[in-house]
Amino acid sequence: MVVHRDQRRADVRDVLDEFERWLLQERSAQECTAAAYTARVAAFVEWLPAPVEESLRKLTAAMLIEWVDLEAARGLKASTLGKQLVMLRSFLQYAHRSGRMGQDLSGVVPHAAAWRLSSIPDPVPAGTIEALFDTLDLRSPKGLRDRAILLLLTGLGLRACEIAGLRLDDIGWRTGSLRIRGKGDRVDELPLPDEVGHALEDYVLHGRGGRVQGEEVFWTVIDPVQPLSANGVCGTIRQICIKAGVEKFGPHRLRHTFATGMLATGATLQEVQGLLRHAHLRTTALYAKVDKNRLTALAREWPAAASLGRCPR
C-alpha cells in the first residue's frame, strides 16, 4: 500500500496529538511533561511503517525490541535511553487503552541500566549568564519579558512549565511573594527577590501591551499573541543563547545553576530542597556532587549518617 508522504506526516501527527491530549486529560500531566513525552515518542511513531494505525495494530514484542536495540546502538547515555523507554511504555499504555492496540505491550520494553542520580549537573558559568542578559533590549517588550524570565530561572530556579503557568494573581506585590504551581498540582509560595519583582513589574506595566487580555503573566510578542507555553520558554532561552553566541541550553540547566550556586554560598540541602520544591532530599543531593566540599558535608546532613556512625562492634 502506497502512502503519500504528506498523508503519513498527518497520520503521525494525529496519533501524537491524541497521545498528548491523553496525557493531559487522563494522566493530569503538566503541559511541559506532556510535550516532552510526545516529543520523545515521535521518533518511535515515525519509525513505524505506514500506515501508522495498521502498524500499531500489528505491533509485536520483536518489533519493540528491535527499536530499543536501534536506540541503544546510537550511544545514548543510560539516563537518556531510560527516559526514552519510560515514555515509550506510557505511549504503549495509551495505544492499548485507546483501542489502537489489542494488547498492552508496555511490559515488554526493557529497563535501561543506570545508577540512580549518577549524573552530575553542569552549571552555566557566570560569564555566560552575564552574556545572556547583555543581549536583551530593555526598550522592547520582548527584552522586558525575557529579562523577567531569565531572572525567574537564575534567581528562583523555576521550571519552564512553572513560568508558563504564572498568573497575575500569583504575584504578591505587597507581600513580596510568588505563588508557584508545580508538579502534581503542588502549590508553594516563595519569597520574591527585589530584582525579580522589579523585572516582573516592568514587564507587566510596560511589556505586555494593550492586546493582552488574559491573566497569564507571559505572552508571545508575535501575532497571534497568546500565552507563552513551556516550550515557548525553552525556545526563548535557546534564542537568547544564539544571540549571545554561546552554546545552546535549556531552562533546566539554569535551574541546576541556581541550586549549585545556593549550595556554594552556604545554603543547606534542606534549604535548597525547599526552594526547588523537591519531594525528596535525595533528589536535591545530586547538586552536592558538583562540589567536593558540599559532598563531604552531605555525610553529616544525610538523615542516615548518624545511624551509620553507630554500627555495633
Q: Is the dihedral of CA 40, 43, 46, 52 positive or negative?
A: negative
Three-class secondary structure of residue 286 per DSSP: helix
- Chain centre to alpha carbon of residue 312: 44
Other beta carbons within 10 angstroms of residue 184's beta carbon come to 7
Catalytic residue among 252, 253, 277, 282: 252
Question: Quick one: which of 177, 145, 136 has its CA closest to 164?
Answer: 145
DSSP symbol at 175: T
Distances in Å between the Cα of 176 and the Cα atoms of 156, 193, 195, 206, 253 are 13, 7, 11, 20, 26
- How far apart are the C-alpha atoms of 233 and 93, rounded to whole Å? 29
Q: Is 287 one of the annotated active-site residues of the chain?
A: yes
289 catalytic? Reply is no
The one catalytic residue in 183, 238, 277, 282 is 183
- 159 tagged catalytic: yes
Q: Is position 278 annotated as part of the catalytic site?
A: yes
Running DSSP on this structure, what letter comes out for residue 288?
A: G
Beta-bridge mates of residue 137: none
37 flagged as catalytic: no
Identified catalytic residue from 40, 255, 256, 294 = 255
CA pair distance 28, 49, nearest whole angstrom: 31
Catalytic, out of 100, 256, 278, 294: 278
Cell of 170: 500569583
Residues 6+ apart with CB under 8 A from 195: 151, 155
Instruction: Tell me if residue 258 falls in helix, strand or coil.
Output: helix
**Is 252 annotated as catalytic?**
yes
Active site residues: 159, 183, 252, 255, 278, 287
